[in-house]
Structure 1
Amino acid sequence: MSPEGSCPWMGHLRRLQVRTWIEPVVASSQVAASLYDAGLLLVVKAHYGAGAASNHSAGPSPRGVLEDQQQRAISNFYIIYNLVVGLTPLLFAYGLGWLSDRYHRKISICVSLLGFLLSRLGLLLKVLLDWPLEVMYGAAALNGLCGGFSAFWAGVMALGSLGSSEGRRSVRLIVLDLILGLAGFCGSMASGHLFKQIVGRSRQGLVLAACSVSCATFSLCYSLLVLKVPESVAKSSRALTTMDTVSGVVGTYRTLDPDQLEKHSVVGHPPRPGKAKPQKAIIALLFVGAILYDLAVVGTVDVMPLFMLREPLSWNQVQVGYGMAAGYTIFITSFLGVLIFSRCLRDTTMIMIGMVSFGSGALLLAFVRKTYMFYIARTVMLFALIPITTIRSAMSKLIEGSSYGKVFVMLQLSLALTGVVTSVVYNEIYQLSMEKFVGTCFVLSSFLSFLAIAPIGIVASKQAPWSQYGDITEK
């Protein structure tokens, strides 16, 4: 007899659990974000390209000089833009995380999605009404004042952690990253084609901006009207010991659960010492590793669009979209990596594999001269997403569930703050080195990525092998 036959209310419960899925919100918001990011880059390029063209008509200049001027103008725009995007969330993201822990888990998600929508509307109005480019600084500020991506992703990670057991958590969180990557890949692939739908500088990008606004609107409405906060697995396992599901993803991870055969035996056990008294040294080392690695990733991501537009690549709109889409494939390969590695490797080992993968790819990227070489370098980065996601998972196993929102926001804000500094420094380095060696920033990223292995190695050396339940256990 099926579970639904023996317990009629279980079938209804399974249907209700569909509403706890955060995946539709992640997917729609990321499609909107990928369209927005590509659209903003192309709008900025078109804006400064027109300015360079008018200067060229007044007095002829070599093509290389005009390209350098355009690159510096785009880089300067993104220095200010990234400062606004990175600093404004610092005022409110932690407060939203605290409110989410204390009152309702959806607060940080819904408020940040409102900011996403306002910023996407800013790009649409700029294209539609031909507003000055500086209006995008205001749109970025509105996004940040609503918490920005720091508050949003911290809220998503909190819901994902609440709806999964500790043994499944690494897989659960990497699935959310997989959805993020697939949505970003689709949006980026379409961005170049959508941008070209309307010819003419004053209206080019209108269709793309409108699609971004539509996706952002859907994600906000879904989170407000449909999304439900999942019940903690620790609570539901006591009431429904026969259910083999993860709240939010019903019947998906049955074969992936490392403690499937023994999970009922651990119900009712007292909390482990590491949970009751967080190992602050381990958490601090994980923070340091995450920040160093994020410095490398953010620097590469910030400079890469400029690298695509400049010689030797000099890509057009469609090629830029494809290049940005290539960056999202690591979400798929990293997901598969966690799926395989989590069965036989410790979390620290998986983190170091991801760091080596990104560092090697960044080093290859520094010497790219042809389009195919760019995609080879991107392929080497196939496990680049594993470190940050696995670090989040490890931290969630060292703290109480009631503190997820605050801790995840603190991590995200730390990454955002260091990312702001990184963006400024990398853009300045890029402007100084692009005429001599355009790959200087990528070499620096490779060094930082390998350097980030050091604190993770210390964690691995000080701790016993993490158990099959995914915990950090003391020697």
Structure 2
Amino acid sequence: MKRHMTLHHLSALNLKPRKSLMQQASEGVCVWCYTFWRRNSRCKEMARCDYRVTVEPVLFLYMLSTFMLFPALQDLIYTKVCLEKYSVAVCDDLYSPDNEVALNYTQTGASHWVLASTFSLALPSIITAQFLGSWSDTYGRKIPMLLPPVGAMLSSVVYVVMAGRLHQTPVALVILASLIAGLCGGFTSCIMTCMSYVGQATSSRSRTMRVGVLEGMTFLGGTLGPILGGWMTEAGGRAATFTLILACHAAIIVYIIPCVPNVLPRNPPSSSWFQSGWKFQHLRDGVATVFKSRQEGRRSYLLVLLAAVSIIMICTAGEIDIGYLYVHDKPLKLSLQRYTLYLSFKFGLGAAALLFLLPLASTRLPDTFLAGAGLVSKIAGLLLLGFAWNEGSVFGSGVLSLLSTWPVPIVRAAMSKLVEPGEQGKLFACVAVLENVCTLVASATFNTLYPITRTSVLHGLIFVLAAVILLLPLVTLCILHKYLKRFDDYAEMDEEAKEMNESDEGLETMDGEEEVGERGELSLEEDAERESERSGDEE
């Protein structure tokens, strides 16, 4: 009875029974672990149970098929340009001194058709990317992700027909295939939709690591794609290679529909996608995201970063555009299989640097320092490639380019920290448009200068010029270092404040549930006490 009275008085005073030292210690450990887990975002993001794979397979499969396509399409164009004017015997022996005229014609003609194909892909995708970026911000991230693989599937059908009927179909059909892929967004729109998805679904402190891993899917595809494409071409012919590319894009669609959860905007629109999805307001919103006024001069830093990443993209796209023509020409004379092996070797090193080295380095070094190291590596690789004298020196340029995959994802992550979460899609749409423009500029510049410089004193002069141009973004990042570091500190402070609020709310909820449970126990004991008193009165 004394125990019941004690509990009754405690309940009336709204007090709790004193907990044992063991209970207090265990609860203290739980609270500390919970708070640490909420605040330590890197631990949370890197933990296997919390790192959820979402769009990484989408970008991997798309870039796998893209890097299978690059050398296979260049080889197809090269062969068809020669066969349209010369016999099979001449085209099989272009390096003979008697066929010097045919070699020069094929090199120049193939370069021009590669340029036309690039323009046909990039120009339509500029408009499409703007719509897709705004749609992803307005209606969700999932649906716009489906359009690029659909277009790539249709263009692959054209390539299969061209490869299967090599002598009957004209080389001009590459324009049709590129137009179809460009109208559906192209590879830049696929990158944009995946980047905007990750940009909204991750915290600012973990974004460099997550964007780096996503960018690593590009280079992982670049590692396996050329090898797989070269092996497939050798085993089953060009038509088999393009059929495999078509199957990869079909697999992307099959994966996205059931496996990628949609990320909806915070403020859903009142009208449906069919009613307002085609308004040109989406184009204006994308441009306004870049040029709108922002606090602390963020607009200026955003524009400078866009200019820096443009130069990097131009040099990267130009290197890929003429790479096969360069190594296939005299004096290197690399075959398609050796060129695909070189691409796989180079992109494999780049993927390893992104997936393993960058996550570790980003926890200890500032982003601008890592981007600068990547640019130095890229410059060194281009210089060695420009002076390459044999196959070993070509592969050596890939070793020097180990960190060349770092600058673009780091600059992407830095730009995403300068805009609001609801502007991620529009920002990356503008980056995709810029990437298309850079592809056009690179293709026009490199494919125009390469036929002129290939017979000059230095066969690889175009790569040396690209290395010199890359000094501009390197100097830019050095100047912006302290300013971008300040914005990173601000972003981390905001994240910590949000996580502390969430942890406080979580702890209050835990305490509230515990208090309700204890009050429930007290009320049960009070009921038992009343029942015993009633029984005593009745007796």
TM range (shorter): 0.7 to 0.9
Q: Residue 234 of structure 2: which of 196, 202, 219 is its match? A: 196
1:88 aligned partner: 124
1:448 positional shift: 1.3
Contact preservation (8 Å) 2:227, 2:341: yes
Aligned mates of 2:364, 2:330 — CA distance in 1 = 44
Aligned mates of 1:75, 1:359 — CA distance in 2 = 24
1:180 aligned partner: 218
Structure 1 residues 471, 197: CA separation in 2 closer, same or farther (over 3 Å shift)?
same
Structure 1 residues 57, 42: CA separation in 2 closer, same or farther (over 3 Å shift)?
closer
Letter of the 2:71 counterpart: A
1:440 aligned partner: 461
1:157 aligned partner: 195
2:157 aligned partner: 121
**381-390 vs 125-134, which deviates more?**
125-134
Structure 1 residues 229, 17: CA separation in 2 closer, same or farther (over 3 Å shift)?
farther
Contact preservation (8 Å) 1:363, 1:446: yes
Contact preservation (8 Å) 2:80, 2:170: no
1:457 positional shift: 2.1
1:23 positional shift: 1.8
Contact preservation (8 Å) 1:96, 1:107: no
Aligned mates of 2:491, 2:370 — CA distance in 1 = 12
Contact preservation (8 Å) 2:200, 2:422: no
Contact preservation (8 Å) 1:19, 1:226: no
Q: Percent identity?
A: 20
Aligned mates of 1:173, 1:472 — CA distance in 2 = 20
Contact preservation (8 Å) 1:115, 1:148: yes
Structure 1 residues 206, 341: CA separation in 2 closer, same or farther (over 3 Å shift)?
same
Q: Residue 205 of structure 1: which of 238, 255, 258 is its match? A: 238
1:323 positional shift: 2.0
2:176 aligned partner: 138
The reply on whether 1:454 has 2:492 as its aligned counterpart is no
Structure 1 residues 345, 135: CA separation in 2 closer, same or farther (over 3 Å shift)?
same
Aligned mates of 2:310, 2:55 — CA distance in 1 = 26
C-alpha offsets along residues 197-255 of structure 1, whole Å, 9 cap, x if unaligned? 24xxxxx31111111111111112221333213589x9xxxxxxxxxxxxxxxxxxxxx
Aligned mates of 1:282, 1:367 — CA distance in 2 = 36
Structure 1 residues 142, 110: CA separation in 2 closer, same or farther (over 3 Å shift)?
same
Aligned mates of 2:52, 2:259 — CA distance in 1 = 6
1:439 positional shift: 0.7
Aligned mates of 1:471, 1:449 — CA distance in 2 = 31
1:15 positional shift: 12
1:124 positional shift: 1.2
Aligned mates of 1:317, 1:297 — CA distance in 2 = 20
1:466 positional shift: 6.1
Q: Which has the larger radius of gyration?
A: 2
Q: Residue 228 of structure 1: which of 261, 273, 277 is its match? A: 261
Letter of the 2:197 counterpart: L
**Pairs within 5 Å for 1:2-401:** 21-51=54-84, 53-54=86-87, 62-130=98-166, 131-198=169-236, 204-229=237-262, 279-329=298-348, 330-401=350-421
**29-38 vs 346-355, which deviates more?**
29-38
Contact preservation (8 Å) 1:81, 1:140: yes
Letter of the 1:333 counterpart: A
Count of aligned residue pairs for this structure pair? 418
Aligned mates of 2:238, 2:318 — CA distance in 1 = 27
The reply on whether 1:417 has 2:437 as its aligned counterpart is yes
Cα RMSD over matched residues?
3.1
C-alpha offsets along residues 177-200 of structure 1, whole Å, 9 cap, x if unaligned? 2222222311211211211224xx
Aligned mates of 1:335, 1:231 — CA distance in 2 = 28
1:108 positional shift: 2.3
Aligned mates of 1:195, 1:17 — CA distance in 2 = 40
Aligned mates of 1:472, 1:139 — CA distance in 2 = 49
Aligned mates of 2:473, 2:301 — CA distance in 1 = 15
Aligned mates of 1:316, 1:425 — CA distance in 2 = 25
SS at match of 2:470: helix
Aligned mates of 2:49, 2:264 — CA distance in 1 = 11
Normalised TM-score (structure 1)? 0.81
Aligned mates of 2:102, 2:464 — CA distance in 1 = 26
C-alpha offsets along residues 251-298 of structure 1, whole Å, 9 cap, x if unaligned? xxxxxxxxxxxxxxxxxxxxxxx9977711111111111112222222
Structure 1 residues 311, 52: CA separation in 2 closer, same or farther (over 3 Å shift)?
farther
Aligned mates of 1:391, 1:184 — CA distance in 2 = 20
Structure 1 residues 146, 455: CA separation in 2 closer, same or farther (over 3 Å shift)?
same
Unmatched 5+ residue regions in structure 2? 1-25, 31-46, 267-292, 495-539
C-alpha offsets along residues 82-135 of structure 1, whole Å, 9 cap, x if unaligned? 111121111221011111110121232111121121122221122234432211
C-alpha offsets along residues 365-403 of structure 1, whole Å, 9 cap, x if unaligned? 111011110011111111111111011111111111111
Aligned mates of 1:417, 1:155 — CA distance in 2 = 18
Contact preservation (8 Å) 1:163, 1:231: no
C-alpha offsets along residues 272-331 of structure 1, whole Å, 9 cap, x if unaligned? xx9977711111111111112222222222121111211122122311221221331212
Aligned mates of 2:446, 2:309 — CA distance in 1 = 18
Contact preservation (8 Å) 1:347, 1:466: no
Aligned mates of 1:224, 1:136 — CA distance in 2 = 30
Aligned mates of 2:421, 2:296 — CA distance in 1 = 13
SS at match of 2:198: helix
Aligned mates of 1:28, 1:110 — CA distance in 2 = 13
Letter of the 2:228 counterpart: A
